[in-house]
Amino acid sequence: MDPAFARPGRFWKGNLHTHSDRSDGARSPEAVCATYREAGYDFLALTDHFWAKYGFPIVDTRPFRTRGFTTLLGAELHAPATALGEIWHLLALGLPLDFAPTAPEETGPALARRALEAGAFLAIPHPGWYGLTAEDAATIPGAHAVEVYNHTSHLRTERGDGVYLADQLLAGGRRLGLLAVDDAHFKSPDAFGGWVMVKAEANEPEPLLEALKAGAYYATQGPLIHDIAWGEEAVEVVCSPALAVMVLGRGSRAEQSVAPGQTRARLPIAALKPGGYARVVVADAAGRRAWSNPVFF
């Protein structure tokens, strides 16, 4: 079963990848938190670049929590080097405020291990933006998730897609979740293009982090997924009005229902099961998508 629809609690809307003027964003942490709170988000992770030139910030956003709005502490971590020779980007949430600065000799995989040992939820951000490969991802074995959509990467470079990497990793037996984020910097209109809906008992940091680690969420650019029920022979999806509802698996395995305005779909899964995993995508008439996490057979 997909824990996002099997567990108790309710869905909370949050952005997991965001920048402020503590690194290369345009607004103060307080203003960024207020922006998401006023836009109806339940929570935000401010994830400034953990670089020496910014003083290795883990921004303390606790003062900006209000009734009905909370924050996760985190950062975007950096160290050498991917297969293409670029600096790694790693999204870490739930970091302690005293997480030690990156050591000069520390590599991306070593930094990832240290973040995981500190209790973080760790994700591979915007793989398409910098040409990350499945071989790169294999060096980060503990990662909990991959960004399948990064709005800023999409707007600025047309490389916001991470679905290709998620499917390669899932086909290779990795068990990861799928995130959508906006990665806003507020130098241009770049907020609110992608977010997650996390199922938890309470809108508080610990339950949210536990739910993220358990995969109890889905990612979206707008469409809502109200329910996904995985049966022996079919998956049943209840969603906001959609043009297409799809179930996707290893390689080209896929089933879909295309009908304008549909809010329910029942899709057979027999052909997907031998591939080892399946996941649901809901697309609306404007082309916006929502992605469930995978289930495994």
* Residue owning tokens 């040992």: 117
Residue pair 114/78 in contact (Cβ under 8 Å)? The answer is no
- How many residues touch Zn ion under the rule CB under 5 A: the total is 2
Q: In angstroms, rounded to a whole number, what is the distance separating the alpha carbons of residues 208 and 200?
A: 6
Kindly state the smallest distance separating residue 124's Cβ from Zn ion, in Å. Answer: 12
Kindly state the smallest distance separating residue 243's Cβ from Zn ion, in Å. Answer: 31
Kindly state the smallest distance separating residue 168's Cβ from Zn ion, in Å. Answer: 22
Query: What x/- string results for residues 56 through 85 when contact with Zn ion is judged by CB under 5 A?
Result: --------------------x---------
Strand stretches in the chain, DSSP E: 10-15, 43-46, 49-50, 70-79, 88-93, 121-124, 145-150, 177-181, 195-200, 217-220, 225-230, 234-249, 254-268, 277-283, 289-291, 295-296
Q: Which is nearer to Zn ion, 76 or 190 (CB)?
A: 76
| Contacts (CB under 5 A) with Zn ion, residues 160-199 | 183
Kindly state the smallest distance separating residue 49's Cβ from Zn ion, in Å. Answer: 7
Kindly state the smallest distance separating residue 130's Cβ from Zn ion, in Å. Answer: 11
Q: Which is nearer to Zn ion, 132 or 235 (CB)?
A: 132
Kindly state the smallest distance separating residue 52's Cβ from Zn ion, in Å. Answer: 17
DSSP string, 123-156: EE--TGGGT--HHHHHT-TT--EEEEEEHHHHHH
Kindly state the smallest distance separating residue 9's Cβ from Zn ion, in Å. Answer: 28
The rounded Cα 161 to chain-centroid distance in angstroms is: 12
Please count the CA atoms within 13 angstroms of the CA of 103 that sit on its side-chain side: 9
Q: Which is nearer to Zn ion, 18 or 203 (CB)?
A: 18
Q: HEC states along 224-259?
A: CEEEEEECCCEEEEEEEEEEEEEEEECCCCEEEEEE
| Contacts (CB under 5 A) with Zn ion, residues 118-137 | none
Closest-by-Cβ residue to Zn ion is 183
| Contacts (CB under 5 A) with Zn ion, residues 1-20 | none
Beta bridge partners of residue 13, listed in sequence order: 197
Beta bridge partners of residue 280, listed in sequence order: 247
Q: In angstroms, rounded to a whole number, what is the distance separating the alpha carbons of residues 70 and 44?
A: 7
Q: Which is nearer to Zn ion, 200 or 212 (CB)?
A: 212
Q: By CB under 5 A, is residue 147 in contact with Zn ion? A: no
Kindly state the smallest distance separating residue 19's Cβ from Zn ion, in Å. Answer: 6
Entry field: residues in the chain: 297
Q: In angstroms, rounded to a whole number, what is the distance separating the alpha carbons of residues 96 and 188?
A: 30
Q: Which is nearer to Zn ion, 78 or 289 (CB)?
A: 78
Q: Which is nearer to Zn ion, 146 or 243 (CB)?
A: 146
Residue pair 18/182 in contact (Cβ under 8 Å)? The answer is yes
Q: Which is nearer to Zn ion, 74 or 223 (CB)?
A: 74
Q: Which is nearer to Zn ion, 136 or 183 (CB)?
A: 183
| Contacts (CB under 5 A) with Zn ion, residues 225-284 | none
Under the rule (CB under 5 A), what is the footprint of Zn ion? Answer: 76, 183
